């Protein structure tokens, strides 16, 4: 069906103009010319949002979101509580119920608003997923050309072999110019991100113009759909060795998923969202959405080079003082500047990476890595996990927040996010944990817990574990050295984790976290506090009821 007729039938759009599947160089110019909204807290709603640098269309598009939405609006994210799906969804603070009747009224008002304004809408047809076994045709429809360009960057464009493709299509209607009335519309504020499973619609309205909404909404959709096919959807990165050995790395933001998956000796499958089917792993995406704050250009050379490439999007990086963006080379940006947000971002195609696995796919993982960045400095740098350990740490999804990264955070704080991505997990953690255990056992995958945080003391007192040491430990896991028959282990007395006594390229002294601290009593006190946080989170979430053993 023609997309115009399909959108009129599905949404009722009948008095709009469409810009359909424009190439990125045209979207670049359209964004600068037409994308308008608020970019300063007390600023007007018609300010320019997209800009060129000195490189023009041969360089990145610079985009500024609404200052109240420089990250995912988790408290304004919902799924429609249709009766046939209400019992399947993991309802929580960052994925709330939206009343079905209120939703239908809101959608009708949004469409009426768009038709009355004779809105210029950008339509981009892409796919969520690289594997036709589960890939979902995804039609982005929105007011901002920047968002259409982002969809072009982040999702596959040509996926062949999808059965009943039109029946599987999801549509996002993204209308920043419509502001909700909470009392009338049933929202919590004047913005909302609403996922409608029954009608396969994502509705985004109000000040929710952070680019990540275009991506993470569909990740949540896939997290709902894939378990029905007995496929595992994962918030992880993945790569494949020259011998075909695949690996996946789970982790929350800041733990190293993107950095560690970009390995010159291995082929990248994806850096953030993957699926695991009966034939192996595959990327949900066709691009990367990397954090830019404090980027080390030498360590992150791929991202640094892509900053100057055409068709990419730099989000919320402040202009240089006293210098017009039009006169700025992208490499001149101050990537330590947090004056707009700590969450500065960069969207670029997967093709910017020099080593990408064919079809963004790989076989069944031989190695599973659970990443954590322990700012307390108490977890071992690397631990070898058995099946029960994996389920426990996967369900907990631990990392830590550092002092200064959020208002009110003055010392390291524990952060638990089930499945290493709780906000996006539409079903209960046990669904994904069970699938992971089944696949891990079936394919004899080995697993480690890799601490990319601190050792020998807490953050602020000692340096972070070096990337050199982290890579050496990861390489040893990928090669199987940490699971070798002759490997000797010690059992951590507090965390009950198996610690290898040696690792190629790493000083054995650093592998024992207690020995790395200058004060053993201070170490044990800090480790016991973290252990108690693990126990409290386990109890709070009733993980035992889901068949997960309390191993700590």
Instruction: Give me the active site residues, please.
Output: 72, 216, 235, 253, 257-258, 272, 345
Q: How many angstroms separate the Cα of 455 from the Cα of each of 257, 359, 385, 512, 552?
A: 19, 38, 19, 9, 20
Q: Which two tokens stand for residue 260?
A: 């560690």
Range list of H helices, 117-200 = 145-154, 165-168, 182-185
Neighbours of 118 (CB within 10 A): 9
Q: Can you give the three-state secondary structure of 245-306, one letter per residue?
A: CEEEEECCCCCCHHHHHCCCCEEEEECCEEEECCCCEEECCCEEEEECCCCCCCCCHHHHHH
Question: Cα–Cα distance between 424 and 264 in angstroms, integer?
Answer: 30
**Do residues 260 and 380 lie in contact, with contact meaning Cβ atoms separated by under 8 Å?**
no
Of 217, 196, 199, 94, whose CA–CA distance to 150 is shortest?
Answer: 217
**Do residues 128 and 138 lie in contact, with contact meaning Cβ atoms separated by under 8 Å?**
yes
Q: Is the dihedral of CA 141, 32, 21, 237 positive or negative?
A: negative
Q: How many angstroms separate the Cα of 53 from the Cα of each of 37, 329, 330, 378, 503?
A: 20, 6, 7, 45, 46
Q: How many angstroms separate the Cα of 378 from the Cα of each of 156, 237, 511, 516, 525?
A: 41, 25, 11, 10, 10
**Do residues 140 and 40 lie in contact, with contact meaning Cβ atoms separated by under 8 Å?**
no
SS3 233: strand
**Do residues 429 and 543 lie in contact, with contact meaning Cβ atoms separated by under 8 Å?**
yes
**Residue matched to tokens 């610690």:** 499
In angstroms, the first-to-last Cα distance of the chain is: 56
Question: Cα–Cα distance between 449 and 463 in angstroms, integer?
Answer: 20
DSSP 81: -
Helix (H) or strand (E) holding 226: none
**Do residues 231 and 211 lie in contact, with contact meaning Cβ atoms separated by under 8 Å?**
no
């Amino acid at each position: 069906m023609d997309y115009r007729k399909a959108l009129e039938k599905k949404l009722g759009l009948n008095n709009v103009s469409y810009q359909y599947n424009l190439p990125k160089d045209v979207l670049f110019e359209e964004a600068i010319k037409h994308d308008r909204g608020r970019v300063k807290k007390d600023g007007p709603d018609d300010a320019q949002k997209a800009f060129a640098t000195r490189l023009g269309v041969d360089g990145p598009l610079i985009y500024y979101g609404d200052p109240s939405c420089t990250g995912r609006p988790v408290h304004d994210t919902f799924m429609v509580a249709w009766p046939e799906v209400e019992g399947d969804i993991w309802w929580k603070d960052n994925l709330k119920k939206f009343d079905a009747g209120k939703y239908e009224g809101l959608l009708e008002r949004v469409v009426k608003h768009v038709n009355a304004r004779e809105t210029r809408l950008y339509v981009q047809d892409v796919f969520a997923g690289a594997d036709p076994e589960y890939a979902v045709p995804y039609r982005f429809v929105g007011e901002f050309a920047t968002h259409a360009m982002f969809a072009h960057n982040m999702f596959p464009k040509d996926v062949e072999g999808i059965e009943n493709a039109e029946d599987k299509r999801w549509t996002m209607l993204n209308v920043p110019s419509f502001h909700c009335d909470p009392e009338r519309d049933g929202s919590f504020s004047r913005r909302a991100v609403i996922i409608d499973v029954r009608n396969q619609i994502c509705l985004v309205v109000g000040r929710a113009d952070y680019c990540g909404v275009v991506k993470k909404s569909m990740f949540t959709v896939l997290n709902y759909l894939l378990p029905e096919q007995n496929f595992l959807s994962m918030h992880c990165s993945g790569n494949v060795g020259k011998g075909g050995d695949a690996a996946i790395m789970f982790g929350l933001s800041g733990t190293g998923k993107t950095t560690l998956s970009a390995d010159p000796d291995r082929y990248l499958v994806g850096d953030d969202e993957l699926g695991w089917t009966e034939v192996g792993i595959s990327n949900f995406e066709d691009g990367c959405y990397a954090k830019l704050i404090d980027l080390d250009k030498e360590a992150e050379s791929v991202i640094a080079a892509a900053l100057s490439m055409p068709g990419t999007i730099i989000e919320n990086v402040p202009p240089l003082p006293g210098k017009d963006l039009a006169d700025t080379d992208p490499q001149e940006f101050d990537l330590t500047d947090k004056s707009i947000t700590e969450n500065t971002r960069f969207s670029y195609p997967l093709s910017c990476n020099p080593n990408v696995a064919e079809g963004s796919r790989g076989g069944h993982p031989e190695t599973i890595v659970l990443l954590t960045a322990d700012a307390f400095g108490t977890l071992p740098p690397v631990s070898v996990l058995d099946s029960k350990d994996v389920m426990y740490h996967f369900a907990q999804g631990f990392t830590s927040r550092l002092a200064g990264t959020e208002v009110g955070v003055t010392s390291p704080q524990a952060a638990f996010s089930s499945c290493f991505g709780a906000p996006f997990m539409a079903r209960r953690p046990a669904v994904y944990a069970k699938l992971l255990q089944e696949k891990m056992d079936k394919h004899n995958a080995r697993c480690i817990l890799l601490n990319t945080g601190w050792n020998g003391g807490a953050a602020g007192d000692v340096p972070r574990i070096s990337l050199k040491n982290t890579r050496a430990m990861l390489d040893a896991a990928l090669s199987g050295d940490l699971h070798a028959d002759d490997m000797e282990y010690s059992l951590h007395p507090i965390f009950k984790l198996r610690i290898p006594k040696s690792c190629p390229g790493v000083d054995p002294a650093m592998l024992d976290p207690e020995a790395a601290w200058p004060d053993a009593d201070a170490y044990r006190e800090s480790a016991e506090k973290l252990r108690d946080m693990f126990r409290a989170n386990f109890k709070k979430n009733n993980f035992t009821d889901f068949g997960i053993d309390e191993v700590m």
